[in-house]
Chain A
């Protein structure tokens, strides 16, 4: 039950999913879904397709350097079984996952902070420039003066009462 990574989009391939292409020099290409397989057959470069993990890491949109990445790696040498170490590892896995998610979230927040700052500056500048276009106080006062009070005649009231 080994979990592999897609050659194109770097997402996890669970057992029973995806497709695998073995080239005639015995190099293996794994794909998580036909979307990635088709892109590969069209000879597209994952570094230039914006929805792939390779693109996002290359352009600084995802976290690339973190110590939690060292826990997950391909181990080409089997480890000797140790009951205590296994128990500790199983206990630590949820904690490591949580820490990784927190750091990833923090990285994205930090990355988007610049954009928010620039947006705020832009808004302030726009307010400063366009404040003149708002209606002035005198106009509002003159508008209020033109209001006419309409009185309700009593005859209508009497007619309603008689009808009832």
Chain B
């Protein structure tokens, strides 16, 4: 009976114990998703073109994946349904916007210069 909030009506938002909230922490954050999208764009690929590893623990063997929302789907048709959803379109718009805030942005705003990584070491 633990973890329920009496005055919250929506069922999935009444719970506060760890097990119920774990899903929130497993989702990739905005800057991680943004970094992956930028990496793919630099490589000249689309988010759907990447070859995904086979994983039996994931739905659909991990082959139907939405990078923007960081979700796995059971089949192609379900994924297509997801692409038409409002949440996914919102995520796409969000990822197309400016880059998320990072520690480097905070430091530059505070009046520090760019980090000094020293001389490039000789590559073997």
Query: B40 at interface (Cβ–Cβ under 8 A)?
Result: no
Query: A99 at interface (Cβ–Cβ under 8 A)?
Result: no
The residues of A with any CB-CB pair to B shorter than 8 Å are 5-12, 23-25, 27-30, 45-47, 52-54, 56-57, 62-64, 66, 69-77, 100
Chain A residues within an 8 Å CB radius of B29: 23, 25
Chain A residues within an 8 Å CB radius of B108: 57
Query: What 1/0 mask marks residues of chain B from 110 to 124 whose CB sits below 8 Å from any chain A CB?
Result: 111111111100000
Taken together as a complex, chains A and B put the C-alpha atoms of A69 and B107 apart, in Å, by: 11
Interface size grouping (class) on chain B: 20 to 34
- Across the interface, do A70 and B113 meet the contact criterion of CB distance under 8 Å? yes
- Across the interface, do A45 and B101 meet the contact criterion of CB distance under 8 Å? yes
- Binding site secondary structure of chain B: loop
Query: What 1/0 mask marks residues of chain B from 84 to 109 whose CB sits below 8 Å from any chain A CB?
Result: 00000000000000100101011111
- Across the interface, do B113 and A69 meet the contact criterion of CB distance under 8 Å? yes
Q: Apart from A5-B112, A53-B106, what are 17 other A-B pairs with CB-CB below 8 Å? A: A5-B107, A6-B106, A9-B106, A10-B106, A10-B110, A25-B32, A27-B32, A46-B105, A54-B106, A56-B109, A57-B108, A62-B109, A64-B109, A70-B113, A74-B115, A77-B117, A77-B119
- Across the interface, do B109 and A73 meet the contact criterion of CB distance under 8 Å? no
Looking at the complex, which one of B25, B106, B111, B117 makes contact with A72 (CB distance below 8 Å)? B111
Q: Can you list 25 pairs linking A and B with CB atoms under 8 Å apart?
A: A5-B107, A7-B106, A10-B106, A11-B110, A23-B29, A24-B25, A27-B32, A28-B103, A29-B103, A47-B101, A52-B109, A54-B105, A54-B106, A57-B108, A57-B109, A62-B109, A66-B111, A71-B113, A73-B113, A73-B115, A74-B112, A75-B118, A76-B117, A76-B118, A100-B111
Looking at the complex, which one of A8, A24, A57, A75 makes contact with B116 (CB distance below 8 Å)? A75
Contact A77 B107, CB 8 Å, known A25-B32, A45-B101, A54-B101 = no
Contact A73 B112, CB 8 Å, known A45-B101, A53-B106 = yes
Contact A74 B116, CB 8 Å, known A46-B101, A47-B101, A54-B101 = yes
- 3 tightest A-B CB contacts, nearest first: A77-B118, A10-B110, A73-B113
Chain A residues within an 8 Å CB radius of B118: 75-77
B106 smallest CB distance to A (angstroms): 5
Chain A residues within an 8 Å CB radius of B105: 46, 54
Taken together as a complex, chains A and B put the C-alpha atoms of A64 and B110 apart, in Å, by: 9
Chain B residues within an 8 Å CB radius of A24: 25
Q: Which of B107, B108, B111, B114 has the most CB of A within 10 A?
A: B111
Taken together as a complex, chains A and B put the C-alpha atoms of A133 and B109 apart, in Å, by: 51
Query: What 1/0 mask marks residues of chain B from 21 to 53 whose CB sits below 8 Å from any chain A CB?
Result: 000010011011000000000000000000000
